[in-house]
Chain A
Amino acid sequence: MDLAAPLAIAAAVALLPVLAPIGEYHLHLVILMLIWGFVYTSWSVMGRFGLVSLGHGAFMGIGAYGVTLLWNQLGLSPWLGAPIALAAAALFAVVIGWPCFRFRITGHYFALVTLAATEIVRLVIVALRDLTGGSLGMTPKTALTEGPVALWALQFAAKEVWLYIALTVWLAGVLIWRAVDRSMLRYALEAAGQDEDAAASIGVDVTRAKLGVTVLSAVMTATGGILYAQYQLYVAPETVAGIAISLQIVFAVIAGGMFVQLGPTVGAVFTLALTESLRVAIGHAIPSLDGLIYGLMLVLFIIYMPKGILGQALALVGRRPRPAVAPA
Chain B
Amino acid sequence: MAAIFDVFLLEAILNGLLFGGVLALLALGLNLIFGVIDVVWICYAELIMLGMYTVYFLFTVYGLPLPVAFAVAILLVAGLGAALHWLVIRPVLASEPINQLLVTGGVLFFLQAAATVAFGIDFRNLGLSLPSLVVGEIFLPWSRILAAATALVAMLGVWLFLRRTFLGTAIRAISQDRQIMPLMGADPARLYLLTSAIGGGLAGLGACLLVLQYDVHPAIGLSFGPITFMVCVMGGLGNLVGGFLAAFVFAQFISVGGFFFHIEWGYVMAFVFFVGVMFMKPQGLFAASGR
Contacts from A to B (Cβ < 8 Å):
50, 52, 96, 99-100, 103-105, 107-109, 111-113, 115-117, 119-120, 123-124, 126-127, 242-244, 247, 250-251, 254, 286-292, 294-299, 301-303, 306, 326-327
In the complex, chain B residues whose CB is within 8 Å of the CB of A303: 88, 91-92, 103
**When the two chains form the complex, which single residue of A113, A127, A298, A306 contacts B278, counting CB atoms closer than 8 Å?**
A113
Cβ contacts B256-291/A at 8 Å (1 or 0 each)? 000001101101100110110011001000000000
Residue of A nearest to B227 (CB): A119
**CB-CB nearest 9 A-B residue pairs:** A295-B110, A291-B113, A295-B109, A298-B106, A127-B264, A288-B116, A99-B279, A299-B106, A292-B113
Interface: B108 (CB within 8 A) = yes
Contact between chains at B97 and A299 (CB < 8 Å): no
Interface contacts (Cβ under 8 Å), in number, total 143
Interface residue range, chain B: 35 or more
Contacts from B to A (Cβ < 8 Å):
40, 42, 88, 91-92, 95-99, 101-103, 105-114, 116-117, 120-121, 218, 222, 225-226, 229-230, 233, 237, 261-262, 264-265, 267-268, 271-272, 274-275, 278-279, 282
Given contacts A52-B101, A287-B116, 10 further A-B contacts (CB under 8 A): A50-B98, A100-B279, A116-B274, A126-B264, A127-B264, A295-B107, A298-B105, A302-B92, A303-B91, A306-B99
Nearest chain B CB to A251 CB, angstrom units:
7
Query: Complex Cα distance A292/B111, Å?
Result: 7
Contact between chains at A294 and B109 (CB < 8 Å): yes
Contact between chains at A119 and B109 (CB < 8 Å): no
Nearest chain A CB to B59 CB, angstrom units:
25
Contact between chains at A287 and B121 (CB < 8 Å): yes
**When the two chains form the complex, which single residue of A52, A104, A126, A289 contacts B117, counting CB atoms closer than 8 Å?**
A289
Query: Complex Cα distance A303/B102, Å?
Result: 10
Contact between chains at A250 and B109 (CB < 8 Å): no
In the complex, chain A residues whose CB is within 8 Å of the CB of B262: 127
Contact between chains at B268 and A111 (CB < 8 Å): no
Query: Complex Cα distance A124/B103, Å?
Result: 29
Query: Complex Cα distance A114/B262, Å?
Result: 23
Contact between chains at B105 and A107 (CB < 8 Å): no
Q: List 26 A-B contacts (CB under 8 A).
A: A104-B282, A108-B98, A108-B237, A112-B40, A113-B274, A113-B275, A113-B278, A115-B226, A116-B271, A123-B264, A242-B222, A243-B225, A287-B116, A288-B218, A289-B113, A291-B110, A291-B112, A291-B113, A292-B110, A292-B113, A294-B109, A295-B107, A298-B106, A299-B103, A299-B107, A302-B92
In the complex, chain A residues whose CB is within 8 Å of the CB of B103: 298-299, 302-303
The main secondary structure of chain A at its interface with chain B is: helix
Contact between chains at A123 and B268 (CB < 8 Å): yes
In the complex, chain B residues whose CB is within 8 Å of the CB of A123: 264-265, 267-268, 271
Contact between chains at B113 and A294 (CB < 8 Å): yes
In the complex, chain B residues whose CB is within 8 Å of the CB of A327: 96, 98
**When the two chains form the complex, which single residue of A127, A243, A286, A297 contacts B222, counting CB atoms closer than 8 Å?**
A243
With A108-B40, A292-B113, A295-B113 as contacts: A116 and B102 at CB distance below 8 Å:
no
Query: Complex Cα distance A283/B262, Å?
Result: 39
Query: Complex Cα distance A38/B287, Å?
Result: 40
Contact between chains at B278 and A247 (CB < 8 Å): no
Query: Complex Cα distance A123/B254, Å?
Result: 12
Contact between chains at B111 and A295 (CB < 8 Å): yes
Query: Complex Cα distance A105/B282, Å?
Result: 7
Contact between chains at A119 and B267 (CB < 8 Å): yes
Residue of A nearest to B88 (CB): A299
With A126-B264, A294-B113, A295-B113 as contacts: A111 and B278 at CB distance below 8 Å:
no
In the complex, chain A residues whose CB is within 8 Å of the CB of B265: 123, 127
Query: Complex Cα distance A104/B272, Å?
Result: 19
Query: Complex Cα distance A299/B111, Å?
Result: 12
Residue of B nearest to A287 (CB): B116
